[in-house]
Amino acid sequence: MKTSTSVKKRKLGSYPYLSVVFSISIALFVIGLLGLLVLHSKKLTQLIKENIEIQVYLKKDISKSALTQIRHSFEQADYISKNKEGKPQVVFISKEQAAQNFIAETGEDFASFLGENPLRDAFIININESHQSEKMMATIKERILKLPGIFEVVYVNDLIDIINKNIRNISLILASFAGILIIVVIILINNTIKLALFTQRFLIRSMQLVGATNGFIRSPFVLRSMGHGLLSGLIASSLLFGISEYAYTKIDDLILLKDVNHLYMLFGILLLLGAFLGLFSSLRSVNKYLKLSLDELY
């Protein structure tokens, strides 16, 4: 029994892997959290940009033919965004509908004491992302004002610049944090595997003395480390999936930021990253012990 236990302990490539799996799992979990933050930030930015719109108010007593021509002009314009079905996002709101919406929201019937409806027919048009700079929005406004029957063009002038500026700042912060985090994770995992392989240094030397090639000695360490990395990636992905699903049920409207395809892609990246980190760290550590002299092993 003792002999069997001793052989098992001295098996080439074996080491206390629980601490390695735990360390890699925690590191990948933190990276995954950052990845979720990036994905949700990207989705939120996309939703905001998809809702950048311009209100176009028409002159009173405009003819139906002129109104049809304006709608056709918008639907053919290159600056109009399209929905998932490929249809231009152009919505017409009559002054009667606008009055009903106002009454429903405020509970006040302004037409009853004014004697008339002061609102105007309007188009709400969504602008595609490629035309959302301040300069291009101003150009679009000028183009629309040149159309016959247009009374006024309204949009939030500073909103576009604020959104673009915030996106650049957030992207820079997340990229910097991600870079620092990945460096810390690589150092952490490398040190963990190095400490785990420390118990195998004399066995590695023994294998060299009996004529084993460096490739033969490396292979069990590399395969085990890659397997532990994949297992760690699976654990981290499972934790992230559980936390994200719980958050979607508890936080209102967070489900709008969910992107299943990108989420599964993130999990795949964590699995590959875990395997790569295990491979990289084990190769580095084993190569170090392969080059040490007998005196340096102590």
Domains plus CATH for the chain?
A: 15-47+163-297 (no CATH), 53-154 (3.30.70.3040)
Environment class of 118 (CB within 10 Å of its CB; exposed 0-12, middle 13-18, buried 19+) = exposed
Environment class of 27 (CB within 10 Å of its CB; exposed 0-12, middle 13-18, buried 19+) = buried
| pLDDT reading at 1 higher than 50 | no
Considering only residues 253 and 272, tell me which one the structure prediction assigns the higher pLDDT: 272
Sign of the torsion angle spanned by Cα atoms 221, 223, 227, 230: positive
Tens digit of each residue's pLDDT (9 = 90 or more) over 121-156:
999 999 988 888 888 888 999 999 999 999 999 987
Tens digit of each residue's pLDDT (9 = 90 or more) over 112-121:
666 677 788 9
Global pTM?
0.67
Q: What values do phi and psi take at 15, rounded to 5?
A: -165, 170
| pLDDT reading at 63 higher than 50 | yes
Q: Which pLDDT does position 15 carry in this prediction?
A: 56
Q: Which position has the token pair 């990207």?
A: 42
Considering only residues 96 and 72, tell me which one the structure prediction assigns the higher pLDDT: 72
Q: What values do phi and psi take at 29, rounded to 5?
A: -65, -45
What b/e readout covers 176-201, taking b as 16+ CB neighbours within 10 angstroms?
eeeeeeeeebeebbbebbbebbeebb
Q: Which residues contact 291 (CB under 8 A, 6 or more apart)?
A: none
- Provide the percentage of residues in the chain whose pLDDT is more than 70: 85
Tally Cβ neighbours within 10 Å of residue 70: 22
